[in-house]
Amino acid sequence: MAVSELGGVVELEGWERVPEQPLPSRVLSGILRFARAKPLGAFCGFVVIFFMIIGDLVPETLNKASSLAGLGTPAPYLADVLEKNTTVVYPYFQDSLRDRLEGSSLNHLLGTDPTGRDLFSRILFGARTAVMVSFGAVFISQAIASAIGIASGYYGGLADKLAYRVVDVFTALPGLVVLITVLGVFGSGLWQLILVLGVYGGPLNSRVLRGQTIYIMASPFIDAARVMGASDRRIMLRYVLPNVFPLIILAATVQLGFIVLLEATLSFLGYGLPEPYPSWGRMLSLDGRNYMRAHPGLAIYPGVAIALLVFSFNLFGDALRDVLDPRLRGSR
Amino acid sequence: MQTYILQRLLLAIPTVILVTILTFLFLRVFLPANVIDQIMGEYARTDLELRAKLEKELGLSSGLPNQYAEWLGVAWFWGGPEGVLQGNLGESLYNGKPIMSELIHRVPVSLELGLWGQFSALALAMPLGVWAALRQDHWPDYGLRSLAILINALPGFWVAVLLLTFGSLWFDWAPPLRFEYLWDDPVAHVGIMLTPALLIGLTPSGGLIRLVRTQMLEVLRQDYVRTAYAKGLASHAVLYRHALRNALIPVVTVVGVGLPNVIAGTVIFEQIFLIPGMGRYLVTSVDNLDYPVILGLNLIFAVLLVLAVLIVDISYAFIDPRIRFS
């Protein structure tokens, strides 16, 4: 290890610089360590990634990145590939009244719904809705939460008090009632859902970050940064944010499952995506109650998909917390 | 104790006022469609006289602060119309009836459902949590912990859908379509409320089982429990009189935090089981774009939640003296 002293580098005796591994192998060994410590959590992590690929979030991101870099769109959408190359995946809107309410068969793996749309395909495409809404809303939430939490923890005083009165009001609101009101009055859709769920969750998640910011503000390195002449913005972005980042990740994994459930509930009540877009919650809605008696699969499979995704999010989040949170390390 | 209650009451007032301002602003200012246009349809552009009359009737003719004062009923003190403070939430745009006359029937139903839901959550979670703690690291414990994780991942409405589908398929069971009030037919009323109340309680009970278990485990390791055993008390006396009472203290706070979930539960299950409470009223009025009703319901829901959290906090202070004096 080298200590730099007024421009000169002094080698300390007995210290040897550990050669740094290249990034991919470090990431890989990190994942392996996580999998060895938390096998169930890692498995649930893979289920989450599986849903992300089905939901086309991974190909979407890759394509965006590569088209920005000028490489075109190399990553295929899984659902599109399956639709072209297999006989069991259909477009989610393709109905055929001739084979409505069919049971499971080789053509329709999970049967068909009252208008003859393939249930398996609709559940597959429904993953896209669930994954996009949950990740989008959580991203917005955590961005708002860190802005409010870090700023009010950093400045303190009157601004902090005022901000936290408003946050208190948000916690005092009955969530589902407000969401139904907003989405019902202003109309619903993919972006409305993401935005409304994201903004609603923002203040609620900021409390933890504020606490951690106040805790960090007492550390010597903040004083050091200030002595060096760093601006408020620089301290917040370069010194506080990296230190609250693990907390943001943890809150996000907890929130993901919660948002999936909330989106399903809102769609179930009729305030989600409009038809014909597939949403797991809407597929269970009571309009189809009479058909569910004829084809019970209609009542089972979408719910299994919701439960599986939420379950994986929750367990993956738990495992991540055990690994990331130093207070819980070594305990259960 | 009185100072604590007074303090909490005073803290709740600004919250309620901010809630009224936020909901009012939201539903009056950011409206997607002008209410008058909505009512008058194609006549909105031509019949200016009727337009002015409607605006006056709905209290939309004056400036925004004035509208707020009139709606809240503050203006009543200097001769304005009656408002929320006088118990007048306005009239429904849909059928012209006063909102209050509708709410008088609906609020007790929802309150009762919510109370039963909360009660069933505790009734499910407490014995199971204690059982898991007493059999720590044995099969009951593993089973119940897995069950709690599973419950956390289950959407409550899905369980209801499964119940309705397979109830009618296998047992020819269906929830009654007609609602009976408690004062008309108590037996039928309990029969109607039982299933939704249990289902409302199911979702919060997942977290509660885990909490009761960890609290119980922590209390069982305390010295005073060992003392109680050592002086020869029967094990049920130790468990119920010494351990459980102390283990339940933190559970009360979680009940307070979980109250919004219970409200959400009443909204969902009133819709599924056709119970004429506030949640169903909200859904129908949102579908009809009945703004005065939506505004009034949001206010009532928020005030009820604030009051419920207040009650939980105060009872927490009753149970745990450390809160009162800090």
DSSP assignment of A43-55 equals HHHHHHHHHHHHT
Count other Cβ atoms within 10 Å, centred on residue A322.
17
Q: Searching chain B, which residue's CA lies closest to the CA of residue A174?
A: B260
Pick the CATH number of B106-319 from 2.40.100.10, 1.10.3720.10, 3.30.110.70, 3.30.9.10: 1.10.3720.10
Condensed to tens digits (0 to 9), the pLDDT of residues B30-74 reads 665 566 666 666 666 677 777 777 777 666 666 777 778 777 777
Identify which has the larger pLDDT, A198 or B41: A198
- Confidence bin at A331 (pLDDT 50/70/90): very low
Domain ranges of chain B: 2-86, 106-319
- Measure CB to CB from residue B153 to each of A182, A257, A289 and give the nearest one: A257
> Are residues B264 and A166, on separate chains, in Cβ contact within 8 Å?
no
Give B-chain residues touching A185 at CB under 8 angstroms: 27, 31-32, 286, 289, 294
- Which of A178, A187, A265 has the CB atom closest to B32's CB atom? A187
Residue A286, C-beta contacts closer than 8 angstroms, at least 6 positions apart: B161, B271, B272
DSSP B136: T
Residues in chain A: 332
Q: Which residue of chain A comes nearest to B290, CA vs CA? A: A185
pLDDT interval class at A63 (50, 70, 90): confident
Residues B22-26, mean pLDDT to the nearest whole number: 80
Percent of chain A residues topping a pLDDT of 90:
13
- What's the pTM? 0.85
Closest CA to B161 of A308, A123, A258, A298: A298
Average pLDDT over residues B207-222: 87
- pLDDT tens digits, one per residue of A69-88: 776 666 666 767 777 767 66
Q: Which of B90-107 are b and which e, b meaning 16 or more Cβ less than 10 Å from the residue's Cβ? A: bbbbeeeeebeebbeebb
A264 close contact with B: CB closer than 8 A: yes
pLDDT at A139: 93
Question: Predicted confidence band at A140 (pLDDT cuts at 50, 70, 90)?
Answer: very high
Q: Per-residue pLDDT averaged across B83-101, rounded?
A: 80
**pLDDT of the residue at A15:** 66
- Flag if A177 and B267 touch (Cβ within 8 Å): yes
Mean pLDDT of A158-173: 83
In contact, B205 and B125? CB cutoff 8 Å:
yes
Distance (Å, rounded) from C-alpha B247 to C-alpha B127? 12
Between these two residues, B222 and B78, which has the higher pLDDT value?
A: B222
When the pLDDT of each residue in chain A is averaged and rounded to a whole number, the result is 81
Chain A interface mutation, best of B110, B141, B158, B266, highest count of A Cβ atoms under 10 Å: B158
A49 or A102, higher pLDDT: A49
> CB-based contacts of A144: which residues, under 8 Å, 6+ apart?
A198, A199, A202, A203, A205, A206
The span from the CA of B14 to the CA of B241, in Å, is: 40
Which chain A residue is nearest to residue B307, measuring alpha carbons? Answer: A172
Chain B: give the shortest CA distance to residue A94, in Å. Answer: 26
pLDDT computed for residue A79 by the predictor? 67
Give me the mean pLDDT over the A291-302 stretch: 83
Mean pLDDT of B307-320: 83
Closest approach of chain A CAs to the CA of B79, in angstroms? Answer: 31
> Nearest CA to CA, how far is A112 from chain B (Å)?
17
Query: CA-CA distance, B203 to B208, in Å (whole number)?
Result: 9
Residue B285 has pLDDT above 80, yes or no: yes
CA distance B159 to B202: 9
Mean pLDDT of B305-313: 86
- B177/A contact by beta carbon, under 8 A: no
- CB-CB under 8 Å, A165 with B14: yes
Contact B218, B249 (CB under 8 A): no
Nearest CA in chain A to B262: A174
Contacts of B150 in chain A (CB under 8 A): 307, 311
Q: What is the ipTM of this complex?
A: 0.85
The residue type found at B13 is I
CB of B59 closer than 8 Å to CB of B71: yes
Tell me: the pLDDT tens digits for A201-251? 889 889 889 988 988 888 899 999 999 988 888 998 888 998 888 888 888
Best mutation site among A165, A185, A197, A283 for testing chain B: the one with the most B CBs within 10 Å? Answer: A185
Mean pLDDT of B161-177: 83
Query: pLDDT band at residue B189, thresholds of 50, 70 and 90?
Result: confident
Per-residue model confidence (pLDDT) at position B159: 92
Residue A175 has pLDDT above 50, yes or no: yes
Q: What is the pLDDT of residue B149?
A: 86
Task: Please compute the mean of the pLDDT values over residues B179-193 and round it to a whole number.
Answer: 82
Over residues B186-211, the mean pLDDT reads: 88
How far does the CA of residue A228 sit from the closest CA of chain B (Å)?
40
Residues of A in contact with B161 (CB under 8 A): 284, 286, 289, 292, 299, 303
Share above pLDDT 70 across residues of chain B, in percent, rounded to a whole number: 91
CB pairs under 8 A between A and B: 131
| Chain B interface includes A288 (CB < 8 A) | no
- pLDDT one-digit tens code per residue, B109-119: 899 999 999 99
Cβ–Cβ contact A74 with B under 8 A: no
In whole angstroms, give the CA distance from residue B69 to residue A133: 39
Distance CA A293, CA A299 (A): 9
The whole-number pLDDT of residue A111 equals 74
pLDDT value at residue A324: 74
Three-state secondary structure call for residue A189:
coil
pLDDT at residue B271 tops 50: yes
Q: How far is A246 from chain B (nearest CA, A)?
A: 23
Mean pLDDT (chain B) is 83
Q: Give φ, ψ of A331 to 5 degrees.
A: -110, -175
Q: How buried is A18 (Cβ within 10 angstroms: 0-12 exposed, 13-18 middle, 19+ buried)?
A: exposed
